[in-house]
Structure 1
Amino acid sequence: MQTTLSPQARQLPRAAEAERILRTCVHCGFCNATCPTYQLLGDELDGPRGRIYLIKQVLEGNQVTQKTQQHLDRCLSCRNCETTCPSGVDYHNLLDIGRAVVDAAVPRPLGQRLLREGLRSVVPNPELFKRLVSSGQVLRALLPGALQTKLPRHPPMSVWRPTPRHTRQVLMLEGCVQPGLSPNTNAAAARVLDRLGLSVTPAREAGCCGAVDYHLDGQSTGLDRARHNIDAWWPAIEQGVEAIVQTASGCGAFIKDYGHLLCTDPAYAQKARRVSAMTKDLVEVLRDEPLEKLRVQSDQRLAFHCPCTLQHAQKLGGAVEQVLLRLGFNLTAVPDGHLCCGSAGTYSITQPDLARRLRDDRLNALESGRPEVIVTANIGCQSHLDGAGRTPVRHWIEMVDAAMTSL
């Protein structure tokens, strides 16, 4: 695609990157065939090709409107289009650049600003979020239905963790909402890793990965959170930890991008590249270990929902399924496994109608094989799918932990 950036756009810090990405696109339209919002709405401007054209117009100096902002807001950032694209268009980075320019030019209505600022205040704060979830559980019957669906359906399970005792050490990002919504997930991961001879080294100074701020009009704050985490992890990295393990694929996808997002920061570029290279989704660790040590016994029927951030961002589609099959679980077939469930970080809150339609379609596919439990690899997907009140949804590592027999 030929493009000529406006003089103003050429002053942007990522102008050269935006121009390079735009020129990669050949406008073939293959991306629309796998775009969830294009499939729902049938509008060219609600598909990747149309959004790329809108961003091109903006960067060439054309007028920016609220309609432009709306079409970009409706994108899930699922990156399904990147998996489909034959030209390798780096769509998600172009979208981030375009959104920043549009949001700087178009003031949002008061309601949207309050919602986004509220999410940025609450979600990255795990202690505050946990207290709000606990209060919500007590007052559940009095809450509106939309809020009730955001609360866990089941009481928290064991959060006991083994004391670090192994020579092999890994770090683990605790996450923002996961400790409040599914506190057993990281504990279960620590117990499974311990059985395999790896101990989780606490890094309590680390906080939110930065994705929430970065994708809600707060890119600079998101990058500051990335720098904070790098500082928190660096002493353990220097002492020889093997990896930075993520149990939430959304966090993992963003941390694996630290190296790119901070590539022009002279104080952090090298460290960010190191952190990104060391970051692994939990399945990347387990698949290389002798899984027979876990002594798992289970024939449960599970349906696996592969999060977009796992299959399209981290390119790990099929990895969890392979581990679960090796461990003896019975996996049901899931049609259209490449499609998004509609969670997409805070999308289920900022775009509730579209998110609900995508969720229901995804659940119909997941339940078609009559599973006992649906499992996934990202807390956002887990909470969003489970909020429908249908088949129980849990993180896959909890099922592995629960099926381990005594040594």
Structure 2
Amino acid sequence: MQTRLTDLIKDTPEGKEADAILRSCVHCGFCLATCPTYQLLGNELDSPRGRIYLIKQLMEGEPVTASTQLHLDRCLTCRACETTCPSGVRYGHLLDIGRGMVERHVERPPHAKFVRYLLRTLLPNRTISGLLFGLARLGRPLLPGRLRKLIAPGSRTANELPQTKHARTMLILDGCVQPALTPNTNHAAARVLDRLGISLVAAKQAGCCGALAYHLNAQQEGLDAMRRNIDAWWPHVTHKDRPVEAIVITASGCGATVKDYGHLLQHDPLYAGKAVRISELARDISEIIASELPCLTSLLNQSEPAPSPRHIAFHAPCTLQHGMRLGGKVESILKASGFHLSKVADAHLCCGSAGTYSILQPKLSRQLRDNKLAVLTADNPELVVTANVGCQTHLQGGADLPVRHWIEILDERLNHHTSG
């Protein structure tokens, strides 16, 4: 694709990156077949190729309107187009640049600005989100049916991390809303890794991965959150006697972002090198478990299979299969652990959660969720499992059967084996 970027942008770091990405697009249109919003709306401006043209026009000095902003807002950033693209177009990075520029050119209505401000202020704050979801959990019996499904009941097993000190140590990212929404996820991960001879430790000062603010176009806020995490983790990474082996992340949305710290902070002279190292250490929990599969299967073979659900449907979050390119990793672990997995049609398509998308684009989000649940439940599984707190909560809001994180059912299976 030929480009003629304006003088104001072409020599800036983001202009140079955007220009290289734009030039790599060959207009083939393969991305249209895998774009969820194009599938629903049939408008090419709501496809990756169409949005690439809009960003190109913006950078070449063409007028920027609220319509441009709307088409970019509608993108889920699922990155299925990146998996499909034969030219390797880094669409997600281009979209971030384009959205940031549009935000500076187009003034949002006051109410829209306020909603976005609340989302990026309240949700990343663990104290506030914990209080809000805690109150919601107390009043859960009084909530309407669909809303009640979004608030998981308290877990009896969500207690402190195992205290055993193994020779192998890894960091765990607590995140922002996950401790309040699905408190058992990280504790289940810690118990599974404990049985595999790995200790998890948490850095108390670490918080939101930065994705929430960054993808709401408050990009400096998002980058600041990333810097805070790096500061919190760095003493553990550089510990003289016992540096951590990895940074384990159980929410794939956070994992895709942390693995991108090196790119996002590449122009920060104080953090660029540290960010690269953090990205190198970041691991989705499935990567750790897969590397320990012989030990896991040995533990599972010590007794009879557990009476927990055996027929399940796995929803692969976009951030897992497209963002981190870990498609099939969780499925192989679950199959090796004795679970029967349903076949899921169009597994590459987004469920519609996409961070705050389900709040800001509720109609499209619900359509995508309903479509996803239809294929997930087509084979009558006993439950649905996934790998991201956002997907889990979003799907649960429309599902008639339980939706859980896959590490929880693996923890239960191991607990039955080791205690039975």
The interval holding the TM-score normalised by the smaller chain is over 0.9
* Residue identity opposite 2:221 in structure 1: T
Tell me if the contact between 1:157 and 1:183 (Cα under 8 Å) persists in the aligned partners. no
Tell me if the contact between 2:46 and 2:71 (Cα under 8 Å) persists in the aligned partners. yes
Matched, 1:359 2:362: no
Equivalent in the alignment of 2:173: 173
**What is the Cα deviation at residue 140 of structure 1?**
4.2
Distance 1:30 1:7 in 2: 32
Matched, 1:259 2:258: no
**What is the Cα deviation at residue 138 of structure 1?**
3.1
Matched, 1:295 2:296: no
Q: Deviations over 1:98-120 (max 9, x none)?
A: 00000110010112111100001
Superposition map of 1:154-303 within 5 A: 154-160=153-159, 161-239=161-239, 240-289=243-292, 290-295=295-300, 297-298=305-306, 300-303=310-313
Distance 1:217 1:22 in 2: 20
Matched, 1:368 2:371: no
Equivalent in the alignment of 2:25: 25
Tell me if the contact between 1:164 and 1:201 (Cα under 8 Å) persists in the aligned partners. no
Identity value in percent = 56
Q: Deviations over 1:312-360 (max 9, x none)?
A: 0100000000001111111111111111000001100010100000000
Q: Call closer, same or farther: CA 1:196–1:227 in 2, change over 3 Å.
A: same
Distance 1:379 1:11 in 2: 39
Equivalent in the alignment of 2:418: 406
Q: Unmatched 5+ residue regions in structure 1? A: none
**What is the Cα deviation at residue 403 of structure 1?**
1.1
**What is the Cα deviation at residue 137 of structure 1?**
2.7
Matched, 1:2 2:5: no
Tell me if the contact between 2:2 and 2:23 (Cα under 8 Å) persists in the aligned partners. yes
**What is the Cα deviation at residue 406 of structure 1?**
1.8
* Residue identity opposite 2:46 in structure 1: D
Bigger Cα displacement from structure 2, 29-38 vs 123-132: 123-132
Distance 1:247 1:167 in 2: 22
**Number of aligned pairs?**
406
Distance 1:325 1:332 in 2: 11
**What is the Cα deviation at residue 136 of structure 1?**
1.7
Tell me if the contact between 2:171 and 2:246 (Cα under 8 Å) persists in the aligned partners. yes
| TM-score of the pair, normalised by structure 2 | 0.94
SS state at 2:418 partner: coil
Distance 1:303 1:151 in 2: 21
Q: Unmatched 5+ residue regions in structure 2? A: none
**What is the Cα deviation at residue 135 of structure 1?**
1.3
Equivalent in the alignment of 1:318: 328
Distance 2:207 2:261 in 1: 14
Equivalent in the alignment of 1:125: 125
**What is the Cα deviation at residue 130 of structure 1?**
1.3
Superposition map of 1:136-151 within 5 A: 136-140=136-140, 148=148, 150-151=150-151
* Residue identity opposite 2:254 in structure 1: C
Q: Call closer, same or farther: CA 1:141–1:67 in 2, change over 3 Å.
A: farther
SS state at 1:165 partner: coil
Bigger Cα displacement from structure 2, 131-140 vs 393-402: 131-140
Q: Deviations over 1:187-235 (max 9, x none)?
A: 0000000000000012111111000000112100111111111111111
Equivalent in the alignment of 1:44: 44
Distance 1:155 1:403 in 2: 20
Distance 2:212 2:123 in 1: 8
Matched, 1:394 2:404: yes
**What is the Cα deviation at residue 155 of structure 1?**
3.4
Tell me if the contact between 2:146 and 2:398 (Cα under 8 Å) persists in the aligned partners. no
Equivalent in the alignment of 1:60: 60
Q: Deviations over 1:19-71 (max 9, x none)?
A: 00000000111001000000000000000000000000000000000000000
**What is the Cα deviation at residue 141 of structure 1?**
6.2
* Residue identity opposite 1:268 in structure 2: Y
Q: Call closer, same or farther: CA 1:12–1:149 in 2, change over 3 Å.
A: farther
Q: Call closer, same or farther: CA 1:141–1:326 in 2, change over 3 Å.
A: closer
RMSD: 1.5
| TM-score of the pair, normalised by structure 1 | 0.97
Bigger Cα displacement from structure 2, 290-299 vs 93-102: 290-299
Q: Call closer, same or farther: CA 1:157–1:368 in 2, change over 3 Å.
A: farther
**What is the Cα deviation at residue 277 of structure 1?**
0.5
SS state at 2:52 partner: helix
